[in-house]
Amino acid sequence: MDSKDIRAQFLEFFKSKSHKIVPSAPIVVQNDPTLMFTNAGMNQFKDYFLGNKTPDSNRVADTQKCLRVSGKHNDLEEVGLDTYHHTMFEMLGNWSFGDYFKKEAIEWAWEFLTEVCGLPEDRMYATVFEGDEKENLEADEEARSYWKKLIPESRILNGNKKDNFWEMGDTGPCGPCSEIHIDLRTEDEVKKVSGRDLVNNDHPLVVEIWNLVFMQFNRLADGSLKNLPQQHVDTGMGFERLAMAVQGKQSNYDTDVFQPIIQSIAKRAGVTYGVDTKTDIAIRVISDHIRAISFTIADGQLPGNAKAGYVIRRILRRAVRYGYTFLDFKEPFLTDLVGQLADQFKETFPELDAQRAFVAKVIREEEVSFLRTLDKGLRRFEIIKAETKGRVIDGKTAFELYDTYGFPLDLTSLIARENGLSVDEKAFQAEMLIQKERSKSAAEQSTGDWISVMEAEASVFLGYEHLEAEARITRYREVKQKKGSFYQIVLDQTPFYAESGGQVGDSGVLANASESIAVFDTKKENDLIVHYTKTLPKDLKATFTAKVNVQKRLLTENNHSATHLLHAALRTVLGEHVQQKGSLVNEEVLRFDFSHFAKVTDEEIAKVEAIVNKKIRENIALDERRNVPIEEAKSLGAMALFGEKYGEFVRVITFDRNYSVELCGGTHVPATGHIGLLKIVSESSVAAGVRRIEAITADKAEAFVDQELEILKGIKELLKNPADPKKAIVSLIEEKNQLQKQIDELNQQQGSALKKDLINQIEEINGIKVITQEVKLPDANVLKQLSFELKNEVPNLVAVLAANLNEKPMLSVILDDALVQKLGLNASEMVRAMAKEIQGGGGGQPFYATAGGKELAGLSKALEIGKKIIYEKLKS
């Protein structure tokens, strides 16, 4: 079976078991502060496990894009070195939310692997949780009993808490698990050593293929375990490993999942994969990393300098570095692989195919940038090599290469070995630890467990219709950090909009007759609406009136609706390739990031503004439709944003069906006339292929226009109110340029005349021509030009000029190049010694240097010092 068939058969199998097949969630996680990336298939279902949300179906299956490069689940450093770890991978999974449990999960997994995939039963092993006394957890005898009906007991192995108790992170849903491992070694190897002795021992061909997790507990912040409201099943099977087993390969990279890309890389490099270990590792790294980079960018995460963006940039640079070092790729190469990858996955993950040009552009710009940095880093290494005493590069220096030039330690070590050096790796790690602790300290906070106040269903959002509502607290928790603590509160119902889709969260108050608590922000955590307060109400069980800050909400709505109008206008003016890549909407400003490969011209901005303001004047009524089936919404022309997770039913916001139709959960004006006016105040680049527009609306836009008109009025008054102010200013500029040209010519004449006088005053000592004079000149440019003209016309010259530049002191020392070596003179050292007399400083090159200062009266003394240095050198 090829990989497409394997994937299809998995989904079809669980569909036959009454599972609903759902699409993969984006690889970039939103509204979950505990994760940057989807690192397991269960991430998108976490709220079902916690009881915060009721699933549409109790049985679900999918293939999920996952990324493991940070945090607890971090496989990055193993990728490429072995044949079974990956950064981005697909996780096939089936879930039960309070429905079936261990029996069905185990039996169906075995049925699929043995009957559908045809994998050999005698090569597979099952592990079960052996229990843990410290946690007071019993052995999973229930799972063992089901396995005993399927396989011999000799192939059922005990697993400790590390291997057989699955936890998503430090807190959250968890439970015992039962792993299925497969032995893919040859018959000869199996006869020598039993597979059961190699399970969970990092053998490349005795690998875990499927993990059946039985979610029973929630790990609290204090480390204790609490039973979940219901028992769930969460299974995850590595698609790439399954393909390796089904296709009878000895490496994930030998399957048809990777081979097309691998062969493309090898062909470009002019090597044969499977011949040389070093080039093989490089090719595996690149073939893995291009997947992670491409899919993550397609899901909305651009490479950057912080958080998720930095992780992607690090992966990209790791791939470039391997290509540069081992495959001699000195030009961008990753970008050329995007199209092939998009073709391979367009049926399963069409988002990459839809954005292939954009993704390739972003990757290319990142490659070009890092190749320049890499080149600079290698030049820096040459200096380090020359300065290194002994044979060991110290840890601080190695860390500088890492921190400034993006050189991983293994790259620095490799280059060092090639030059007969080594690196103090312990000292490097110490520097790395200092940086991590610094970052950790800066962001350190501890979040307590939720404390339940009353039982309630998920919080109901009322904010589309109401700006205040009666509400009760269902749960709360405290968040402690260095700058002070705050509280997070969940209400049974709320008018407060939680930050999402670029729109900031509401602020306001929770009030009753006894007290008023300020809500300074509202955010989403998974599907919870969380209100942020500095204090807790005295009576947590009281009923409150939740009141939104109306002025902030209305101004924010102006900007949000204007963003929709702006998006449509940009597509009209620039083209259908324009797609939203990020936004920020608050009461002050709207910021809109979009895909476009060139600067938006002033003419284009004017056209966009004109279209948006026309739509505002038309006072188009908001057409809001909720619970629209996703396919129906798309048929209406609604634009789905890449990287967003949409359910089966969506909310559609329309301002003129022939103009702007978008899927959106934010709040909006009832009609476009409320926006008043839109004014674009800036346009800039955010990243390769991504532009940013900032704009203001309503009162702020009017104030901006008034201010600009006031400035124009002032200019016209200064110009004596000409009929055409622009023409008058152009005339003034031309007049200024003509006058400046005349001044430059006069300065040049003055310099030429002074040059002749200085040449006539040359003093010759032992064949060396010496000029030491005080001069008066208009500016530093004339002084520099005079110095170099003297050098070019007078051989064997040493010239020291102490200049009065419009009552500001300046020194110039220029030497014939040959005299620098011959006499041991150094212009930079001379000028620094002289500059003390004018209370200044300076420097330059050995043959030419200048210094400025504050004390004009010190010029004569400075000149005397210069003369003394020259005469001592010439007479010695």
Question: What mean pLDDT do residues 724-753 have?
Answer: 86
> Is 90 exceeded by the pLDDT of residue 687?
no
Question: What mean pLDDT do residues 751-763 have?
Answer: 85
Which residue from 164, 201, 163, 207 is spatially nearest to 183, judged by alpha carbons?
A: 207
Condensed to tens digits (0 to 9), the pLDDT of residues 778-821 reads 888 888 988 899 989 999 899 999 999 988 999 999 998 888 87
- Whole-number Å distance between alpha carbons of 232 and 625: 34
Q: Is the dihedral of CA 64, 68, 71, 72 positive or negative?
A: positive
Q: What per-residue confidence (pLDDT) applies to 317?
A: 87
How deeply is 410 buried, as exposed, middle or buried, from its count of CB atoms within 10 A (0-12, 13-18, 19+)? Answer: middle
Question: What mean pLDDT do residues 524-538 have?
Answer: 91
> Is 50 exceeded by the pLDDT of residue 684?
yes
Condensed to tens digits (0 to 9), the pLDDT of residues 58-101 reads 999 999 999 987 544 455 666 777 777 788 999 999 999 999 99
Q: What is the pLDDT confidence band of residue 409, given thresholds at 50, 70 and 90?
A: confident
- Whole-number Å distance between alpha carbons of 387 and 325: 24
Q: What per-residue confidence (pLDDT) applies to 443?
A: 53
Q: Take residue 303 and report the two structure tokens written for it.
A: 């490479």
The least confident of 30-39, 290-299, 526-535 is 30-39
Condensed to tens digits (0 to 9), the pLDDT of residues 218-271 reads 888 888 898 888 899 999 999 999 999 999 999 999 999 999 999 999 999 999
List beta partners, residue 490.
Answer: 475
Q: 502: phi > 0 → left, psi -120 to 50 → alpha, else beta; which?
A: left
Condensed to tens digits (0 to 9), the pLDDT of residues 173-225 reads 889 999 999 999 999 999 999 999 999 998 989 999 999 999 999 888 888 89
Count CB neighbours of 536 within 10 A. Answer: 14
Q: What per-residue confidence (pLDDT) applies to 71?
A: 47
Question: What mean pLDDT do residues 141-155 have?
Answer: 96
pTM confidence score? 0.74
361 close to 692: Cβ distance less than 8 angstroms: no
Q: What per-residue confidence (pLDDT) applies to 221?
A: 83
Q: What percent of the chain lies above the pLDDT cut of 90?
A: 59
Arithmetic mean of pLDDT over the chain: 90
Condensed to tens digits (0 to 9), the pLDDT of residues 559-581 reads 999 999 999 999 999 998 898 98
Q: What percent of the chain lies above the pLDDT cut of 70?
A: 97
Q: What per-residue confidence (pLDDT) applies to 289?
A: 95
Task: Give 106 or 134, the one with higher predicted confidence.
Answer: 106
Condensed to tens digits (0 to 9), the pLDDT of residues 473-513 reads 999 999 988 788 999 999 999 999 999 889 999 999 999 99
Condensed to tens digits (0 to 9), the pLDDT of residues 581-596 reads 889 999 999 999 999 9
